[in-house]
Structure 1
Amino acid sequence: MDKHISSQFDAELAGVSSRVLELGGLVESQIRHAVYALSQFSVEVADQVIATEKQVNAMEVDIDRELSSIIARRQPTARDLRLLMAISKITGNLERAGDESERIARMVKLIVDQGITRSLPASELRIAADMASGLLRKALDAFARLDVQTALVILKEDDLIDAEFDGFLRKLVTYMMEDPRTISASLDLLFVAKAIERIGDHAKNIAEFIIYVVKGADVRHTAMADIESAVK
């Protein structure tokens, strides 16, 4: 590949990477609004989150189309091919994180419709939601720099979100036992908690793909000790 073609290819890689970060920023905003809708039980903000999903989906399709074009025209090898494959996976995880935000918004609307918002422990989900949102932001920053050390930190921090989910689940079960009238709305809140946990999982997946790009090691479903060894 001559220098002219190589510089064009580098520009295309930078361009599609930038699009992924743009998508990530949109999904981050979607998550923030979903969490706000939950904390305030705002139907108006929930509707905004739901409406944003169409834009997220369109961006995913556009990025996938661009990736297919680059691969067909450039026939990349080694690290460049890993990067393009990882970008495709990262884009999919961002879109699914957006799906979880939309799910939170729809659950908020259901809870509001049931009219018992004041008695629900929704505020206790804020910690886990902030952690998941922060983890996704950190994953996007790590992708922008292809920073494997930060990716490793993300994999470890995801366990904290899982612990928050388990703790909230125990509290919610106790809450439903004390007041059976809240069971239906509490189950909706459980789906919200699960959606938050999954956003953290998508951030974790992105971190794994960053390690794959830089180190060439597929660390999915791998013990932490082995991942640490691969990153060194």
Structure 2
Amino acid sequence: MNESQHVSSQFDEELSRLRTHVLQMGGLVETQISSAIEAYTTGEVASVKTIVDTDRKVNDLEKAIDDDCAHVIAKRQPTASDLRLVLGISKIVTDLERAGDEAKKIAKGVRRIYEAGHMPSQYGIGIRHLAEAALTMVRQALDAFARLDAELAKAVISADNDVDVEFKSIIRQLITHMMEDPRTITTSIDIIWIARAIERIGDHAKNVSEQVIFIVEGRDIRHTKEKAQ
């Protein structure tokens, strides 16, 4: 192996490690979201501490990946698709970290509700369905990144519209609850914040998918009407 091949092989290994670390971070965020959803359903508020502890690991990974991206750009000076991959990763990890923050908000909201002696299931609100839809978006966005699958990324972006519609429906139902029975206001507001955090998780999954399209196709579709077309 000549020097050029050796350098190229090292670069490929560095890019592969970067992708692996992103997926590792994504797996932690998935676990956070799933645990928060489960706590909402079961009232197992003891899991909140675990979710918060996992958030610290997610934050550490974000910093490490950002450092690795900066190192790769400075040392390897990547071009074309390799540069898009590194730049895309630097944005993807930001959205993953923020999705983890939203999971932490859900967990803390759940703890407040149950510690106040209330049962969110009594409200008949489809929070779990909304959360499972957002979690599916996160999983598919990570799968699209792992396989660099632009078509799957576009499907995730389209799914965000359904999550937004369901979120608005939940808000309307909760407002009705509060108007009919003012005693429900405190818990309803907590559920609204939980629903909002779930909707934001869907937004972050959409953002990850937009970066996958940028990496694969070299097109930046953020803030455009094109989106999933």
Q: Compute the TM-score of the two structures, normalised by the length of structure 1.
A: 0.94
Cα offsets for 1:45-71 (capped at 9, x unmatched): 122212211111111111111111111
Match 1:180 to one of 182, 187, 200: 182
8 Å Cα contact 2:157-2:206 kept in structure 1: yes
Aligned to 1:34: 36
Aligned to 1:108: 110
8 Å Cα contact 1:39-1:122 kept in structure 2: no
8 Å Cα contact 2:36-2:104 kept in structure 1: yes
Aligned to 2:158: 156
Query: Hey, what's the Cα distance between the residues in 1 that align with 2:120 and 2:84?
Result: 49
Q: Note if 1:55 corresponds to 2:70.
A: no
Find the residue that maps to 1:115 and give its secondary structure: coil
8 Å Cα contact 2:103-2:197 kept in structure 1: yes
Q: Compute the TM-score of the two structures, normalised by the length of structure 2.
A: 0.95
Aligned to 1:127: 129
User: Percent of counterpart pairs with the same letter?
Assistant: 46
- AA aligned to 1:140 is L
Query: Hey, what's the Cα distance between the residues in 1 that align with 2:201 and 2:64?
Result: 22
8 Å Cα contact 2:127-2:195 kept in structure 1: yes
Match 2:95 to one of 71, 93, 96: 93
Query: Hey, what's the Cα distance between the residues in 1 that align with 2:179 and 2:47?
Result: 31
- AA aligned to 1:14 is S
TM-fit CA distance, 1:41: 2.0
Gaps of 5+ in 1: none
Aligned to 1:210: 212
Aligned to 1:2: 4
- AA aligned to 1:181 is R
Cα offsets for 1:151-194 (capped at 9, x unmatched): 11111111010011011011111111121011011101100000
Find the residue that maps to 1:116 and give its secondary structure: coil
Equivalent residues, number = 227
8 Å Cα contact 2:40-2:120 kept in structure 1: no
Cα offsets for 1:1-40 (capped at 9, x unmatched): 8221111101100111000000000100110000001111
Query: Hey, what's the Cα distance between the residues in 2 that align with 1:73 and 1:98?
Result: 30
TM-fit CA distance, 1:120: 4.1
Find the residue that maps to 2:219 and give its secondary structure: coil
8 Å Cα contact 1:39-1:123 kept in structure 2: no
Aligned to 2:225: 223
Aligned to 2:48: 46
Query: Hey, what's the Cα distance between the residues in 2 that align with 1:48 and 1:155?
Result: 30
8 Å Cα contact 1:50-1:106 kept in structure 2: no
8 Å Cα contact 1:100-1:199 kept in structure 2: yes
TM-fit CA distance, 1:113: 2.4
Query: Hey, what's the Cα distance between the residues in 2 that align with 1:122 and 1:188?
Result: 15
Aligned to 2:171: 169
Distance 1:120 1:214, change over 3 A: same
Matches of residues 182-201 of structure 1 in structure 2 within 5 Å?
Answer: 182-201=184-203
Query: Hey, what's the Cα distance between the residues in 2 that align with 1:58 and 1:115?
Result: 35
Gaps of 5+ in 2: none
Query: Hey, what's the Cα distance between the residues in 1 that align with 2:54 and 2:60?
Result: 10
- AA aligned to 1:147 is D
Distance 1:171 1:81, change over 3 A: same
